A and B are shown apart, each in its own frame.
Chain A
Amino acid sequence: MGERLAEKVAVITGGSSGIGLASARLFVAEGARVVVAARDAERGAAAVAALRASGGDARYVPCDVTSAEHVARLVETTLAAYGRLDILFNHAGANRAARVTELDEAEWDALLNVNLKSVYLGCRFAIPAMLVNGGGCIVNTAGTFGLVARPAQAAYCAAKAAVIHLTRQMALDYGPQGVRVNCICPGYIDTPLTAGVPAAMRASIIAAQPLRRAGKPEDIAEAALYLASDASSFVTGVALPVDGGQLVSG
């Protein structure tokens, strides 16, 4: 067990599977008390049971991150359980590959809500709780698709680019009060979200990356740990690619 997040209380949205769960495991192993926020109650309970079995302190809070009511309750429940909130990892997100002309209005709204509005809502309710303690730390999951365009990813590219810029904007607004805001830009990571990607497409994506492999959820979790810990106390407003070098040649 490490101590890099000793005494900290962290909320991780989308924390019951994939990158979110790997991050919850690492945060708990580094001494944090972790609130796993996710929609699926069965998966949430299973995640928390596994975290507790490893000796960690964790709780599950059911949460739809596109609902202000849910996110407000998430923060209230965290404060009631642990008395403070130091770290918010806005990780929940979803994707559907489509060009603009293939997205109806409801699909566009749904993708923007789960990928962008969720970040606004998390920060809207978490930052006041952090300010009570003199500061805190927000880590948002953006994506390399927020830095470069990719075919048939209209809503996802737009939402992730907005997350990166919102990250910078909030870093400016809340830095003076001790809240740091950073984001991670994952490249191709093997997770439940990418499980449906055809093998040939996965292989060609990997072949184009300098490090020639897919990322693991743990790769993102380590970046989240760095950005969430005091080791990065002079780092705010950054977008950190964790992408095997995918972006070096654009």
Chain B
Amino acid sequence: MARLSGKTAIVTGAAAGNGQAIALRFAEEGCNLALSDVNLSAVQETAAQCTALGVRASAERTDVTARAEVEMMVEAAWANFGTVDILVNNAGIFFNAAFDEMSDDQWRRMLDTNLTSVFLVSQTVIRHWLAAERGGAIVNLASISSSVAFTRSAHYCAAKAGVTALSRCLALEYGPRGVRSNCLAPGIIETAMTRPALGDPATVTDWMRRIPLKRVGQPRDVADGALFLASDESAYITGDMLYIDGGWMVE
């Protein structure tokens, strides 16, 4: 029996990296997928790979910082699949900026894409769930940056800490109506976002010193955590943050 058989999930930022891995992992477990990304052709490719695994999958071009686009994407998911059981707020960006040099635009772009997007998509989906008198599972991609500092990353750390706090509040506020909300907190995962840094031997040496398991994670590791938090296997878990970091946080 597939672990998400008969369910439908919205996954944002599904064109590449963790979002793509989550979509494919969910598809392996029988989950239908409403995928979105700003990169339409790439998210269409992810949808095609999911379809090849035997599930239904759609792809939308969605800017998750724009309410109108988010509402259109969520409406389309309901229209295509009849309902939505799972929301994975994965879309996000990363770029370095020293705090004293950070422009208003850089700050807002980071906060809009990584935090306000979670507000917009979660609110839209929760409104649907409340109207339908049903619950669902939300999985938010936070980060070890929610809890620890990184240089030239104040905007990213603030946004991810915001995601963690928002997720806990949703757990408290909508738990009684059957909505669960949890965070995944990946550490260093090998994706396009980390590839530049992974090319720098000094950075890699420093990271390996900090990771007890002595490797970087793969998107599949994140996807397996998302599967656990999205499935009924975690029916009694809400408001948690699950670190997938090779042990980075223990020290």
A interface list, Cβ under 8 A from B: 168-169, 171-172, 175-176, 180, 187, 209-213, 215-216, 219, 222-223, 225-226, 231-238, 240-245, 247-249
Interface of chain B residues 125 through 177 with chain A (CB within 8 A): 168-169, 171-172, 174-176
Bound-complex Cα distance A121 to B233 (A): 30
Q: A residues within 8 A CB of B180?
A: 211, 245
Residue in B172, B212, B238, B244 whose CB lies within 8 Å of A175: B212
For chain A, what secondary structure do more than half of its interface residues adopt (helix, strand, loop), or is it mixed? Answer: mixed
Q: A residues within 8 A CB of B169?
A: 248
Bound-complex Cα distance A62 to B114 (A): 53
Residue in B174, B218, B225, B239 whose CB lies within 8 Å of A247: B239
Q: B residues within 8 A CB of A215?
A: 236
Residue in A180, A210, A231 whose CB lies within 8 Å of B238: A210
Across the two chains, which residue of chain B brings its CB closest to A178?
A: B213
Bound-complex Cα distance A233 to B222 (A): 10
Across the two chains, which residue of chain A brings its CB closest to B248?
A: A237
Cross-chain contact B227 with A176 (CB below 8 angstroms): no
Cross-chain contact B212 with A176 (CB below 8 angstroms): yes
Total number of residue pairs linking A and B with CB closer than 8 Å: 117
Cross-chain contact B175 with A212 (CB below 8 angstroms): yes
- Chain B 91-118 interface 0/1 with A at a Cβ cutoff of 8 Å (1 = within): 0000000000000000000000000000
Cross-chain contact A240 with B240 (CB below 8 angstroms): yes
Distance in Å from the Cβ of B31 to the closest Cβ of chain A? 16
Residue in B168, B171, B174, B217 whose CB lies within 8 Å of A234: B217
Known: A212-B175, A226-B233, A231-B224. 11 other contacts (CB 8 A): A172-B247, A175-B246, A187-B236, A210-B176, A231-B225, A234-B246, A238-B242, A240-B240, A245-B180, A247-B239, A248-B239
Across the two chains, which residue of chain A brings its CB closest to B169?
A: A248
Residue in A176, A209, A237, A241 whose CB lies within 8 Å of B240: A241
Number of interface residues of B (CB under 8 A): 38
- Chain B 211-226 interface 0/1 with A at a Cβ cutoff of 8 Å (1 = within): 1111101100100110
Cross-chain contact B168 with A237 (CB below 8 angstroms): no
Q: A residues within 8 A CB of B85?
A: none
B interface list, Cβ under 8 A from A: 168-169, 171-172, 174-176, 180, 187, 211-215, 217-218, 221, 224-225, 227-228, 233-240, 242-247, 249-251
For chain B, what secondary structure do more than half of its interface residues adopt (helix, strand, loop), or is it mixed? Answer: mixed
Q: A residues within 8 A CB of B176?
A: 210-212
Q: A residues within 8 A CB of B240?
A: 240-241
Q: B residues within 8 A CB of A168?
A: 250
Cross-chain contact B243 with A238 (CB below 8 angstroms): yes
Cross-chain contact B246 with A222 (CB below 8 angstroms): no
Cross-chain contact B172 with A172 (CB below 8 angstroms): no
Q: B residues within 8 A CB of A210?
A: 171-172, 174-176, 238-239
Cross-chain contact B247 with A175 (CB below 8 angstroms): yes
Cross-chain contact B175 with A209 (CB below 8 angstroms): yes
Given contacts A172-B251, A233-B221, contact A211 B238 (CB under 8 A): yes
Residue in A222, A247, A248 whose CB lies within 8 Å of B234: A222
Q: B residues within 8 A CB of A225?
A: 233
Q: A residues within 8 A CB of B172?
A: 210, 245, 248-249
Bound-complex Cα distance A226 to B236 (A): 14
Bound-complex Cα distance A213 to B237 (A): 11
Across the two chains, which residue of chain A brings its CB closest to B221?
A: A234
Bound-complex Cα distance A237 to B144 (A): 13
